[in-house]
Amino acid sequence: MNKENLELIIIGGGPAGLSAGIYASRAGLKTLILERGILGGIAATTDLIENYPGFPEGMKGMELAERMKRQCERFGVQIKNGEVNSIAKEENGFVIKSSLADYRTKAVIIATGSSPKRLNIPGEAELFGRGVSYCATCDGPLFKNQDIAVIGCGNSGLQEGLFLLNFVKSITFIEFLPYITADNILQERLKGENRVKFLLNHNPLSINGKNRVESITVMDRGTNEKKIISVSGIFIYVGLIPNSQIFKDIVHLDKNGFIHTNEELETSVPGIFAAGDVRAKRYRQVVIACSEGAIAAMNAYHYIKG
């Protein structure tokens, strides 16, 4: 058992977790952030974040995450790269078992965020990393002067599509719904772009190719007509699933796996809080995750101090 006497452990180093770390450490709590992947979460993989206050020209997701990290470390937060395996309640707090060590803490903030939802169609898993991607910033430059498809016409799909246009020859946007759900400002930026085509009310059926993506088969939901579109890359933005599986026997989740909290961001277990995209709510934005991280940290402070 790690003998370090921690007051707060934050599981997850995305915007919610980093914001919680800033507020907790400034309040004087001995705080550790455990992040299994890259700091900043999905936000760090976004090419340009334009709706975070204070940056009128927008900011690259990775840079925003790096600034949050430096701010945390400035106030004394420990940040470690490790995966949490379990949480157990004990008399004076919690025991967290991780890939690094076992820790004791008085309170916990779960800020594990979410992951891209899969289409679960033939070829998707088999061709992942060979033309199938969920991250335009990571993989966009690999498709220079090639034809690609973007699945999903929400904010993420169009935002990442705009970034991909810096490299690719053309984009076919494929949307299950009969309309585009992205903000008007993103739609306006694509108007008149002759390298873009929209297939609305279409359902992806399979991703095709032997060693790499060669095409995608879709079906018109109105006519049931099937089409094969030749592309060498497919970027998928069809929603998110919460990273909450390891907590399902500890705190109450909704039917989709998101963590239930009250307005104070308390879960069903006193001393465990949740913030960010892992929490059950309507809107998921970086600025909202940051505010929730702050609220969770302040309430964790009052819980710890009694």
- Helices 61-74 and 15-26 pack at an angle, to 10 degrees, of 20
H helix and E strand count, the chain: 7, 17
Q: DSSP letter for 1, please.
A: -
Catalytic residue among 47, 72, 102, 135: 135
| Burial state string for 198-219 with b = 16 or more CB within 10 A and e = fewer than 16 | ebbebbbbebbbeeebbbbbbe
Residue 153 falls in the annotated catalytic set: no
Residue 139 falls in the annotated catalytic set: yes
Hey, how many other C-beta atoms are within 10 angstroms of the C-beta on 284?
17
Cα–Cα distance measured from residue 161 to residue 148, given in angstroms and rounded to the nearest whole number = 10
Residue 220 falls in the annotated catalytic set: no
Catalytic residue among 47, 72, 139, 153: 139
User: Where are the alpha helices (H) located in 106-204, listed in sequence order?
Assistant: 136-139, 155-164, 184-190
CB 265 within 8 A of CB 299: yes
Cα–Cα distance measured from residue 67 to residue 298, given in angstroms and rounded to the nearest whole number = 21
Hey, how many other C-beta atoms are within 10 angstroms of the C-beta on 298?
17
CB 14 within 8 A of CB 40: yes
Hey, how many other C-beta atoms are within 10 angstroms of the C-beta on 147?
17
The 3-state DSSP class for residue 71 equals: helix
- How far is CA 270 from each of CA 43, 82, 259, 263, rounded to the nearest angstrom? 29, 24, 14, 14
Cα–Cα distance measured from residue 243 to residue 112, given in angstroms and rounded to the nearest whole number = 6
Catalytic residue among 102, 138, 183, 254: 138
Q: Are strands 147-151 and 233-236 parallel, antiparallel or unpaired?
A: parallel
Q: Which residues are catalytic?
A: 135, 138-139
